[in-house]
Amino acid sequence: MTRLHLAAATVTACAFAAVIGLYAARHDTTRAKTGFAGFRRPAGIPPARFSLSDQDGATVTAASLRGRPVIVSFLYTRCRDTCPLVADQVRGALDDLGDRAVPYVAVSVDPANDTRASARAFLLRHALTGRAHFLLGTAAQLAPVWRQFGVQPQRVVNARRDDHTPSTVILDARGVQRTGFLADQLTPEGVAHDVRALGAGA
pLDDT tens track for 10-33 = 544 454 444 445 444 444 445 556
Q: What is the 3-state secondary structure (H, E, C) of the chain?
A: CCHHHHHHHHHHHHHHHHHHHHHHCCHHHHHHHHCCCCEECCCCCCCCCCEEECCCCCEEECHHHCCCCEEEEEECCCCCCHHHHHHHHHHHHHHHHCCCCCCEEEEECCCCCCCHHHHHHHHHHCCCCCCCEEEECCHHHHHHHHHHHCCCCCEEECCEEECCCCEEEEECCCCCEEEEEEHHHCCHHHHHHHHHHHHCCC
pLDDT of amino acid 156? 54
More confident position, 35 or 201: 35
pLDDT of amino acid 23? 43
**pLDDT tens, residue by residue, 79-104:** 998 999 999 999 999 999 986 789 99
**Number of compact structural domains in the chain:** 1
The whole model's pTM is what? Answer: 0.82
> Residue 181 forms beta bridges with which residues?
168
Average pLDDT value for residue range 36-48: 94
Range of the structural domain that residue 33 is part of: 3-199
Share of the chain above pLDDT 70, in %: 79
Question: For residue 40, what is the domain's CATH number?
Answer: 3.40.30.10
**Rounded distance between C-alpha atoms, residue 3 and residue 139, angstroms:** 11
Average pLDDT value for residue range 32-54: 91
**pLDDT tens, residue by residue, 136-154:** 999 999 999 999 999 988 7
Average pLDDT value for residue range 61-66: 97
Average pLDDT value for residue range 46-71: 97
pLDDT of amino acid 160? 52
pLDDT of amino acid 30? 52
Q: How confident is the model at residue 34 (pLDDT cuts 50, 70, 90)?
A: confident
What residues contact residue 50 under an 8 Å CB cut-off, 6+ apart? 60, 61, 62, 107, 135, 144, 145, 148
Average pLDDT value for residue range 110-127: 97
The amino acid sitting at 32 is A
